[in-house]
Amino acid sequence: MAQRIDGKIVAAEITAKTAAAAAELKRETGVTAGLAVVLVGEDPASQVYVASKSRTAKECGFHSLQYTLDATTAERDVLHQIAELNSDPLVHGILVQLPLPAHIDAGKVIQAISPDKDVDGFHHINVGRLGAGDIKSAFVPCTPAGSMILIERVRGRDLSGLNAVVVGRSNIVGKPMANLLLAANATVTIAHSKTKDLPAVCRNADILVAAVGRPEMIRGDWVKPGATVIDVGINRVAAPEKGEGKTRLVGDVAFAEAEAMAGAITPVPGGVGPMTIAMLMANTLVSAARAAGREPPRF
């Protein structure tokens, strides 16, 4: 039976380290790390995510700001809000909660955020830094950054000689995940829906990262015995066994099947998910340390 990688425990460790470093930064420089979250509209899921991020920021001792704009807010007004936050020295991290209303160009909004405050790691400058292997100066997107820490807990920081397969090629998870694995010396394959004989490709993976957004797509017989499986997927599916209209969360991996094959595996929920918010806090602390002229901690 595989080792279950408990993301809640690791995320709590990261958050505690962030809070301690934030307190030290404030004590030595007077700088309080500041995180601003911009929410446009009243999407219920987005409200839950934003509330969780704001709560964790306060637990870390951050200056936490939330700007909730009406769903009809014009794009120029959202851009104006970001420009103000870019110039605010008390704000070190800016996060715009996605998705945005259809009339707002999300790409334009994200690229308007200062690269030095882009704690989501979506600005093209940070994407370029990561792609060039300059991880120390880049802000890495939070989900792949958290996934990489979970991999390191099992496999160590040097992945030389290991084959890694990332299933999914999104800009938010798949591509940055592949770059992080490459930087750790893994031999990396990016697979996706157009990949020929995807099960065979997955069976070659010592490290298998599933980030496709399809419930339980990765079956147990796709998993190499002893592999480390990181399930990034969060999918809500019907759960009639719990009652009419009830649902449950599953990942992109058929967990029970894969657990019987893998050496280590993340559950859903409780695996990668908690790491995403923890790494957002870590990125914000790194930004604040840089602004104060201090060497940021490594997570």
- 157 and 205 together in one domain: yes
Calpha distance 79→237 (Å, rounded): 36
Q: Are 95 and 120 in contact (CB under 8 A)?
A: yes
Q: Which of 116, 132, 157 is the last residue of a domain?
A: 116
CB atoms within 10 A of CB 71: 13
Coil, strand, or helix at residue 164? strand
- 92 and 31 together in one domain: yes
Instruction: Work out the pLDDT band at 244, boundaries 50, 70, 90.
Output: confident
User: How many percent of the chain have pLDDT more than 70?
Assistant: 100
Least confident of 46-55, 143-152, 192-201, 287-296: 46-55
- 106 and 154 together in one domain: no
Question: Count of domains in the chain?
Answer: 2
- As a whole number of Å, the end-to-end CA separation of the chain is 29
Q: Is residue 219 part of a domain?
A: yes
Amino acid at 73: T
215-243 pLDDT tens trace? 999 999 999 999 999 999 999 998 888 88
CATH code of the domain in which 249 resides: 3.40.50.720
- 51 and 151 together in one domain: no
- 267 and 159 together in one domain: yes
Calpha distance 81→96 (Å, rounded): 11
- 153 and 212 together in one domain: yes
Q: Kindly state the DSSP code that residue 158 receives in the 8-state scheme.
A: -
Domain of residue 222 covers 142-271
CATH code of the domain in which 29 resides: 3.40.50.10860
What pLDDT, on the 0 to 100 scale, is given for residue 46? 87
- 151 and 255 together in one domain: yes
- Rounded to the nearest integer, the mean pLDDT of the chain is 96
144-195 pLDDT tens trace? 999 999 999 999 999 999 999 999 999 999 999 999 999 999 999 999 989 9
DSSP labels, 214-277 = -TT-B-GGGSPTT-EEEE---EEEE-GGG-TT-EEEE-SB-HHHHHTT-SEE--SSSSHHHHHH
Q: Is residue 169 part of a domain?
A: yes
Selected catalytic residue, list 17, 116, 117, 120: 120
Average pLDDT rounded to a whole number, residues 29-46:
94
For residue 46, the cross-strand partners are: none
Q: Kindly state the DSSP code that residue 41 receives in the 8-state scheme.
A: S
pLDDT at 272 exceeding the cut of 90: yes
Q: Is the dihedral of CA 246, 210, 171, 97 positive or negative?
A: positive
pLDDT at 45 exceeding the cut of 90: no
Q: Is residue 297 part of a domain?
A: no
Selected catalytic residue, list 17, 53, 117, 175: 53
User: Is 66 a residue of the active site?
Assistant: no
What pLDDT, on the 0 to 100 scale, is given for residue 291? 97
> Which residues have CB under 8 Å from 272's CB, separation 6+?
7, 143, 146, 147, 150, 230, 231, 232, 266
Question: What is the CA angle 124-148-153, rounded to 5?
Answer: 160
- 38 and 104 together in one domain: yes
pLDDT at 27 exceeding the cut of 90: yes
What pLDDT, on the 0 to 100 scale, is given for residue 273? 95
Q: Is residue 104 part of a domain?
A: yes
Q: Is residue 280 part of a domain?
A: no
Average pLDDT rounded to a whole number, residues 52-79:
96
Instruction: Work out the pLDDT band at 245, boundaries 50, 70, 90.
Output: confident
Q: Which two tokens stand for residue 259?
A: 């657990």
Which of these, 90, 95, 1, 93, lies nearest to 40 by C-alpha position? Answer: 95
Selected catalytic residue, list 97, 118, 175, 206: 97
User: Is 47 a residue of the active site?
Assistant: no
Q: Is residue 83 part of a domain?
A: yes
